[in-house]
Amino acid sequence: MIILKGTKGKKSNVLLISFFIPLTLILPLFIKSSFFIHMLIMSFINAILAIGLNFILGFIGEKSLGHAAFYGLGAYTTAILSTKFNLSDWRSLLISLLVTAIGALIIGFPSLRLRGPYFSIVTLGFVLILQLFISNGGVLTGGPTGLPGVKRLEIYNPFNNNVIVLSTDISYYYLITISFWFCFLISILLVSSKIGRAWTAIRENLDLAESIGINSFKYKLIAFLTGAIMAGLAGSIYAHYFSFVSPKLFDTFVNINIVTMVIIGGEGTILGPVIGAFLITILPEILRFAEELRILIFGFILLITIIFAPKGIVGTITNILIHEKER
């Protein structure tokens, strides 16, 4: 009912998920290529970002262009805590999420009152302000060159009462996979709850939704905040995994990339952003394009999707399946 809207029952969703969760967990046993593991890690990071953006962009229908700000905020908070305060365990992760949430509130309160293009431009503006602050942040943020030497994440092990340092790529693979499934399940829960129905109501007709007592600002803020916290989580894990953050991490291109993932996969669907994220991350690596050519091809893919399949991959497939059923 939810994953492919209107085509499958709840039972098959459970089956689908209970097939894919173990699959992603045993995948590293068969894949020994570290490059492929890296690609999967990046895909999952991007998938978390896309799922988070999809709340406000797909379900509410307000086109945020500021999602990368939260990714950057999470990554930089973690990096600064790790390099300057020597803190890189669950506490720093928690502080990063908290800082991202506060950032989301600061951005959300003024901008969520705006609609349409104004909202898009103001959220974009916040990304640029954050970029300027971080590029001019001096010793604290490392300026435009970035902040190297972020320590690996330490996890407390309650059984042996010791601390494990996540140092291998495989351990980050598991960390990000678990985080991804966590975000994915939260997204299913939210969308199928009262909150998700309120989101759809706001998207379809804001005035009508408000007239039946839906507090649109509150629900928009929930969507914005949840998405931001997910992006903060992705950023934080990225910082530990890559040990390096720079302002390039969340520049305009990355920002547009996240939007592209959601649009290509299908905005307003649960599975769409995930498919989009995997495609956009893995496809260029398989085809081995040069950097400039990659942006060019992304641009064309986005343009063709908008013109010929405006509902994205998942949306279009769902439409076809519904038509088949009706026939």
Q: Are 263 and 314 contacting, i.e. CB atoms less than 8 angstroms apart?
A: no
The pair of three-digit structure tokens given for residue 167, joined into one six-digit string: 């140092």
Q: Is 87 in the site for other proteins (CB under 8 A)?
A: no
Distance CA 76, CA 249 (A): 10
Stretches 13-21, 24-32, 116-124, 316-324: which one binds other proteins (CB under 8 A)?
116-124
Residues of span 212-251 touching other proteins by CB under 8 A = none
Q: Is the dihedral of CA 117, 122, 128, 131 positive or negative?
A: negative
Contact flags string 117-146 toward other proteins, x per CB under 8 A: xx-xxx-xxx-xx--xx--x----------
The pair of three-digit structure tokens given for residue 8, joined into one six-digit string: 């499958």
Q: Is 113 in the site for other proteins (CB under 8 A)?
A: yes
Of 105 and 293, nearer to other proteins (C-beta) is 293
* The binder of other proteins chosen from 163, 208, 287, 306 (CB under 8 A): 306
> Please, what is the minimum distance in Å from the beta carbon of residue 140 to other proteins?
14
Distance CA 255, CA 271 (A): 20
Which amino acid is present at 82?
S
Q: Which helix (H) or strand (E) holds 277?
A: helix 272-287
The pair of three-digit structure tokens given for residue 283, joined into one six-digit string: 């496809």
Q: Are 70 and 56 contacting, i.e. CB atoms less than 8 angstroms apart?
A: no
Q: Is 102 in the site for other proteins (CB under 8 A)?
A: no
> Please, what is the minimum distance in Å from the beta carbon of residue 78 to other proteins?
24
Q: Is 303 in the site for other proteins (CB under 8 A)?
A: yes
Which of 222, 233, 217 minimizes the C-alpha distance to 196?
Answer: 222
Of 129 and 185, nearer to other proteins (C-beta) is 129
Binding site for other proteins (CB under 8 A): 63, 110-111, 113-118, 120-122, 124-126, 128-129, 132-133, 136, 252-253, 256, 259, 263, 292-296, 298-300, 302-303, 306-307, 310
